[in-house]
Amino acid sequence: MQLRCGGRTLDLQRPVVMGVLNLTPDSFSDGGRYVEPDQALRRALALAGQGAAIIDLGGESTRPGAAPVSAEEELGRVLPVLGRLRPLTGAILSVDTSKPELMRAAAAAGADLINDVYALRAPGALEAAAESGCALCLMHMQGEPRTMQRAPQYTDVVAEVRAFLEERVEACRAAGIADERLVLDPGFGFGKTLEHNLTLLRHLEEVRIDGLPILAGLSRKSMIGTITGKLSQERVHGSVAAALIAAQNGARILRVHDVAATVDALKVLAALTGGPGEPERQ
């Protein structure tokens, strides 16, 4: 399984790690620590060094209750870091955005992937994404970040998430986007209770459409906090466990804050399942 990211391809034969680089002053898990471009660059290179195949740059917080930011502000947070990072790493560079302006600017600055929690539903987003040539992650969300955790409701969460993703895949195809560019994401924590999240994790393969790769983002989320009773900084072990379960249940991209720990866990899984990527014996 391969993902086409502009002129490059990302091998997804085995699960890979997407490291989170928050460029927002209000992000819940590492808020404010990486806003300064020099610091953000150092952090991005550290994530790549730890084995992240993808670095996800985000300039708008989408945590529950977060307020939207202007395109200008988001551009100002993301573009300087992206522009300086591009020549310094071979990692796939992803931009977490829903705004067509930023999609265009990011593609021009060398981004490889657009990660959109609104699944290209904003006016103009589908066209901007199509023209970018980038790979595209389509995520499910019920409601919008400001209010989505108030009362999430589903009759059949797996069927409803799948139907939504199917509709978005069709919209992408109609816009001329090849399947080789698409990634699907059930959107853990985006308008979902703990039970909804657990049901999706258990049945992850069932949201897959036509063999497209699945991305899972569980890292440090409140479901891990609820299960372990830990604050966000202390959710590393629970998050690694969740990432490993997601990989075993079919996820090919794991979006995480704790890259080194997750990469090791995935190596253990790879050793068990064998095949290409099996570690060399010492």
> Where on the chain is the footprint of ligand 7PJ (CB under 6 A)?
20, 62-63, 96, 115, 117, 137, 139, 185, 187-188, 215, 217, 221, 255
Distances from the Cα of 252 to the Cαs of 124, 181, 212, in angstroms? 28, 14, 10
Nearer residue to ligand 7PJ within complex by CB, 125 or 281: 125
The question of whether 192 is a catalytic residue gets the answer: no
Nearer residue to ligand 7PJ within complex by CB, 100 or 145: 145
Please, which residues bridge with residue 138 across strands?
Answer: 116, 184
Per DSSP, the three-state class of 117 is coil
Nearer residue to ligand 7PJ within complex by CB, 222 or 277: 222
Closest alpha carbon to 121 in 133, 134, 147, 103: 103
Closest alpha carbon to 129 in 159, 163, 153, 105: 105
Instruction: Give min distance, CB of 185 to ligand 7PJ, in A.
Output: 4
Nearer residue to ligand 7PJ within complex by CB, 63 or 168: 63
Instruction: Give min distance, CB of 9 to ligand 7PJ, in A.
Output: 20
Closest alpha carbon to 14 in 279, 220, 219: 279
Positive or negative, the Cα torsion across 107, 169, 19, 225? Answer: positive
Burial of 93 (0-12, 13-18, 19+ CB in 10 A): buried
Question: Which of 14, 63, 181, 255 does the annotation list as catalytic?
Answer: 255
Question: Which of 181, 221, 235, 252 does the annotation list as catalytic?
Answer: 221
Instruction: Give min distance, CB of 6 to ligand 7PJ, in A.
Output: 18
The residue number with the shortest CB distance to ligand 7PJ is 217
The question of whether 255 is a catalytic residue gets the answer: yes
Instruction: Give min distance, CB of 276 to ligand 7PJ, in A.
Output: 26
Which residues are part of the catalytic machinery? 221, 255
